[in-house]
Amino acid sequence: MEICLLPLLVIRYSPVGLIIPELKGNINVKQKQINKKGRECCRCGEYKDWSHYSKCKKGTRGYDHWCKDCRSKYCAEHFRRFRRNSQLKYYFGITLDEYKQMLEKQNGACAICKRPEIATRKGIIKQLAVDHCHDVGIIRGLLCYRCNMALGLLDDDLETLHAMTDYLKKDYTK
């Protein structure tokens, strides 16, 4: 005969309202305060009224365990990481981890000008662009916005690039 020893979850009432202990492992029991006016957010730990929580069938009293602020921050970050990883995989066949390894190998700077990215979009500094050969599809490195645009405008044409360097090397002081 087997005996199952499970921790007993006791819900009790106090003068401030219902207190539900949330089990963390087998040893620590952390209590979250819940009453008719609101609850303590499981993520940030702040006590907020029910208007700060989204409706959720699985949650306590039909509300989410995280407040709307914590849920939106989490979802935005999760979506941003997922979207970037999907784009890299779809367009270049690499993962976000492989991109980060390339970035670390280049010391966080452009492969051509050796400077970090300075271009911004909506006030946020852009990530280095993945430069690849359009004919073969091989990834050459990570470039800043300016170097990537310059290569794109040259259509990867070495003759034009050499003509431009010869032009810049000329002495125009005469």
Q: Is the pLDDT of residue 8 over 60?
A: no
pLDDT of residue 29: 42
CB 69 within 8 A of CB 80: no
pLDDT of residue 143: 93
Which class does domain 108-169 fall in? alpha beta
Residue 170 DSSP class: S
Averaged pLDDT score across all residues of the chain: 78
Question: Where do the domains of the chain lie?
Answer: 12-72, 108-169
> Which of 80, 77, 44, 42 has the alpha carbon at shortest distance from 63?
42
pLDDT of residue 27: 43
List pLDDT tens digits, range 51-68.
888 787 776 677 787 888
H helix or E strand, kind and range, residue 161? helix 158-169
State the Rg of the chain over Cα: 28
Annotate 101-136 with DSSP letters as a single string. Answer: HHHHHTTTS-TTT------EETTEEPPPEEEE-TTT
User: Are β-strands 120-121 and 17-24 bridged in parallel, bridged antiparallel, or unpaired?
Assistant: unpaired
129: which strand partners?
Answer: 143
CA atoms within 13 A on the CB side of 20: 11
List pLDDT tens digits, range 89-144.
888 888 889 999 999 999 999 999 999 988 888 888 888 999 988 788 789 999 99
